[in-house]
Amino acid sequence: MRALTWLCVAAVLPLAGAALAAEPVPPYNSVELQAEAQREVPNDTLNASLYAEMNDPDPAALANAINRAANNALRLAKDYKSVRVHSGNNQTYPVYGKGNVLQGWRGRAEIRLESKDFEAASALIGKLQSGLQLGNLNFSVSSEARRKAEDELTLEAIAAFRARAEIVRGALAGRSYKIRRLNLNGGHSIPPPRFAMGRAMAAAPAVAPPDFESGVSLVTLTVAGVIEVLD
């Protein structure tokens, strides 16, 4: 009987030890802190969408006209090597009148532009507006520029975190402190579109290229963590 009892205890003790190891006691004088660093970064990327929208009682004639407008725009855009151009959303849908009677069809074809060369993009948009409507235009920070800013802000944010940790240590009359956990999070604010023009803006035979003010975006790097103040 004694041998059996000893075996049972020996089997239970490792399990109890594992349970204790899974629930570590929080360090004494632990304090959660947060600090951040911000920087305004010039927007270096332009994004725009232009579209052709038409009505016709014949869906085939409508599709032909819409496709011709989009194809002409894409051919024209090929002369602007610094502007990336690709097709956007294309759709055709029926138009009903009173009594749910089919009156005709409406179609829309879209192309989208992206470029860091604002001068070339402006010239291209001006030419495309002779046959297309400007649907949307906005500016943003490219992934490369944002990553470079975040790398530099990391040093500033960690320095701000350490400065705040030092203030806490002094307030608690601690001898020193130890960083127990540290998390870094980046983010940036996207500015609203500079233009949002719909069908009310009629296409003209010749359109002057628009002037752009790209503005800036606010890039933020946040450091959050836990320190232990040592006596």
Tens of pLDDT along 81-97?
999 999 998 899 999 98
Instruction: Give the CA radius of gyration of the chain.
Output: 31
Determine the pLDDT at residue 2: 41
Determine the pLDDT at residue 26: 58
Residue 204 has pLDDT above 60, yes or no: no
Determine the pLDDT at residue 23: 54
Q: Which of 192, 197, 61 is nearest to 128 (CA)?
A: 197
pLDDT in tens, 133-178: 999 999 999 999 999 999 999 999 999 999 999 999 999 999 999 9
Q: Which residues pair with 64 in a beta bridge?
A: none
Q: How far from 95 is each of 45, 65, 89, 179, CA to CA, in Å?
A: 38, 17, 19, 65
Q: Which amino acid is at 2?
A: R
CATH topology of domain 45-140: Alpha-Beta Plaits (3.30.70)
- Asked if residues 35 and 29 have their Cβ atoms less than 8 Å apart, the reply is no
- Asked if residues 160 and 35 have their Cβ atoms less than 8 Å apart, the reply is yes
104: left (phi over 0), alpha (psi -120 to 50) or beta: left
- Asked if residues 221 and 185 have their Cβ atoms less than 8 Å apart, the reply is yes
Q: Does domain 27-44+141-190+214-231 have CATH number 3.30.110?
A: yes
Per CATH, 27-44+141-190+214-231 and 45-140 having the same topology is answered: no
Task: Check residues 10 and 20 and name the one with the higher pLDDT.
Answer: 20
Residue 218's pLDDT band (cuts 50, 70, 90): very high
DSSP character string of 154-205: HHHHHHHHHHHHHHHHHHTT-SEEEEEEEEEEEEEPPPPPSB---TTS---S
Could you tell me the residue ranges of all domains in the chain?
Answer: 27-44+141-190+214-231, 45-140
Task: Check residues 73 and 13 and name the one with the higher pLDDT.
Answer: 73
Determine the pLDDT at residue 97: 87
Determine the pLDDT at residue 24: 60
- Asked if residues 123 and 112 have their Cβ atoms less than 8 Å apart, the reply is no
Average pLDDT over residues 39-45: 94
Residue 11 has pLDDT above 90, yes or no: no
pLDDT in tens, 174-202: 999 999 999 998 876 665 544 433 333 34
